[in-house]
Amino acid sequence: MKVGFTTSFPVEVVFAAGHTPVDMNNLFVLGDSLKLIEIAELDGYPRNVCSWIKGMYGVVSQAEIDSVIGIVGGDCSNTHSLMATLKDKGIDVFSFSFPYNKEKDLLKREIERLEYHFGVTSKQTYEAKAFLDNIRKKLIEADRLTWETGQITGAENHINLVCASDFNGDPVEYEKKIDELLLKAKERPADNKSLRMGFIGVPPIFTDLYDVLENCDIKIVFNEIQRQFAMPYLEKDIVDQYLKFTYPYSVFDRLKDINLNIEKRKIDGILNYTQAFCHRQIDAVLLKKYIEKPVLSIEGDQPDKTDARTILRLESFIDMLEY
């Protein structure tokens, strides 16, 4: 059974149940994105709703998704309405919530509820976690080769970390790809570009942004949210693992992680991506206030190449950092 989901959650439970988890965001942005948005708009979704929400609606109708898990606490509030419209179309839906105040007992109960829904035991969940954590260790090494030696590009780092949300539905094949990347990377010379930047915010909807950044002769050495999808802390307790996952909680949790990595990775400037019509745009106020390096915020709406205005702003920001 294909189980779609709207953002990262304890995917170990779905693997333990023998099902295939599918991050619908990845299917959307890597597929015929504009067509998927059009499907939602033809069914009545407004134009001024986040493209990711509309894209996920389109994915369900095109990708033979059997069931959808909506993360209704800790992510986009539009997910509530997405789930309602999917349920109305006869799709099996199930909700999962991250507790706003990071209460361990509440998160533990949510994971247990998820296990009950899929008919798996805690032991089975931890067996799946142990298997996935071995892959996550390799992603930590790939991330190190991005910021420490430059042998893995920012684009490679981005795509492989973002796909760790569902391991492309097949952890065995996904692990093989990571192994191949690590082998190739270690044969490459070090690439220590002078200008080192961090990328924060949700993964971009622009299809060529990382190419644009590389062409500007800068190195992306930190992909904030993508790294979080890979669960980089390797906590033994699955509840602790998802309590350390910064994305669904306060912006202040994110800030601690961002500033720590700015220092560790010797970052010169920060690129903050925001999605049009997203509540996380408000977070930019605090991110700019408390991040210890210059920050440029850019906004995307539709899946397309980076527009000329955004490229001009990027170039001006880079010039400012260089001088």
Count of domains observed in the chain: 1
Quote the tokens at residue 193: 């570009």
Quote the tokens at residue 149: 């030696």
d(CA 91, CA 174): 28
d(CA 278, CA 262): 25
d(CA 35, CA 47): 14
Asked if the structure places residue 222 within a domain, the reply is no
Q: Write the DSSP symbol of residue 62.
A: H
Render each residue's pLDDT in the chain as its tens digit; 323 residues. Answer: 999 999 999 999 999 999 999 999 999 998 899 999 999 999 999 999 999 999 999 999 888 899 999 999 878 888 999 999 999 999 999 999 999 999 999 999 999 999 999 999 999 999 999 999 999 999 999 999 999 999 999 999 999 999 999 999 999 999 999 999 999 999 999 987 779 999 999 999 999 999 999 888 889 999 999 999 999 999 999 999 999 999 999 999 999 999 999 999 999 999 999 988 888 888 999 999 999 899 999 999 989 999 999 999 999 999 999 87
Residues in the chain: 323
Asked if the structure places residue 60 within a domain, the reply is yes
What's phi and psi for 71, nearest 5 deg? -85, 100
Asked if the structure places residue 69 within a domain, the reply is yes
Q: Name the amino acid, one letter, at 103.
A: E
Asked if the structure places residue 55 within a domain, the reply is yes
Q: Which H or E run contains 117?
A: helix 104-118
What pLDDT is recorded for position 77? 84
What pLDDT is recorded for position 18? 98
What pLDDT is recorded for position 132? 98
Which CATH number fits the domain that encloses residue 63?
Answer: 3.40.50.11890
What pLDDT is recorded for position 41? 96
Asked if the structure places residue 194 within a domain, the reply is no
Of the candidates 226, 224, 10, 230, the residue with the CA atom closest to the CA atom of residue 133: 230
Asked if the structure places residue 88 within a domain, the reply is yes
d(CA 311, CA 298): 10
Q: Which domain holds residue 65?
A: 2-122
What pLDDT is recorded for position 136? 98
Asked if the structure places residue 148 within a domain, the reply is no
Asked if the structure places residue 76 within a domain, the reply is yes
pTM assigned to the model: 0.95
Of the candidates 284, 239, 280, the residue with the CA atom closest to the CA atom of residue 102: 239
What's phi and psi for 28, nearest 5 deg? -65, -55
Q: Write the DSSP symbol of residue 274.
A: E
What's phi and psi for 218, nearest 5 deg? -120, 165
What pLDDT is recorded for position 155? 96
DSSP string of 186-240, one letter each residue: HHSPP---S-EEEEEESPPS-SSHHHHHHHTT-EEEEEHHHHHHT-TT--SSHHH
Q: Which H or E run contains 71?
A: strand 67-73
Number of H helices, E strands in the chain: 15, 8
What pLDDT is recorded for position 276? 80
